[in-house]
Amino acid sequence: MLNVEQLKTLPVCGRAIHLLPESIARENCILPVAINCSTLHLIVPADYQSKDVAGQPLLELLRFILARELTFELAYRVDLSSFVDLHYRAVYSTIANCDHRFTINCPGRWVDLPATENVRVRFCNVCRKDVHFCNTTDEVESYFRLDHRVAINDADAERETLGLPYRDEMR
């Protein structure tokens, strides 16, 4: 059974996230974390066996829908739910305020960066800096003032417009 500390540092593969539809992941509190050949590795809630969908056991139904073998580890639903939310929001987040070569958007993706001890911070091996995950423009602005790198998921912005404005636009 994985605990919160293990979930915080668990590497999550973006390709694995893309294989499991977000609606299924959120509804069933499932976090896909890795893919090896045709096998998808999941973190599922400890009570998954009590969950049936349309009269079918959950994992059997997922094997059928995804046409893949599944392996899994367990975590408590209460611990796992925030990580499902974080990783599904983060997988589409852009990294902003990288270095001068990228000006506005870093070519990297949050989900591809190595995890750190803090679940909301990843490390970029290109610029050798920490990247902070932000949910709001207020968070972005506070990190921006400190010249930190950020990955932003702003619910008020369109996905195509995510990023960090030039310094002159922040005033």
Q: Are strands 56-57 and 52-53 parallel, antiparallel or unpaired?
A: antiparallel
Whether residues 43 and 114 fall in one domain:
no
Q: List the structure tokens of 123.
A: 């490390």
CB-based contact 80:29 (threshold 8 Å): yes
Whether residues 78 and 150 fall in one domain:
no
Domain boundary among 36, 63, 89: 89
Query: How far is 8 from 146, CA to CA, in rounded Å?
Result: 24
Indicate the range of 21-35, 70-84, 101-115, 116-130 predicted with least confidence. 101-115
Domain boundary among 67, 89, 111: 89
Q: List the structure tokens of 31.
A: 């976090």
User: Domain span at residue 103?
Assistant: 94-170
Whether residues 71 and 112 fall in one domain:
no
Whether residues 9 and 85 fall in one domain:
yes
Share of the chain above pLDDT 90, in %: 25
pLDDT at 106 over 70: no
Domain boundary among 89, 113, 133: 89
Q: List the structure tokens of 25.
A: 């992941």
Whether residues 49 and 101 fall in one domain:
no
From the list 50, 52, 58, 47, the residue with the least C-alpha distance to 20 is 58
Segment of 36-40, 47-51, 112-116 carrying the highest mean pLDDT: 36-40
Whether residues 163 and 101 fall in one domain:
yes
The CB-based long-range contact list for 118-123 (8 Å cut-off, 24+ gap) reads 118/8, 119/7, 119/8, 119/83, 119/86, 120/86, 122/151
Whether residues 147 and 129 fall in one domain:
yes
Whether residues 84 and 110 fall in one domain:
no
pLDDT at 159 over 60: no
Whether residues 121 and 46 fall in one domain:
no
The stretch 11-39 carries a mean pLDDT of 90
The CATH number covering residue 23 comes to: 3.30.300.160
pLDDT at 34 over 60: yes
Give tens-digit pLDDT for 52-86: 655 668 888 899 889 999 999 999 999 999 999 88
DSSP 8-state class, residue 52: E
Give tens-digit pLDDT for 142-157: 887 888 888 876 454 4
pTM metric for this prediction: 0.58
Give the count of domains, the chain. Answer: 2
Whether residues 44 and 115 fall in one domain:
no
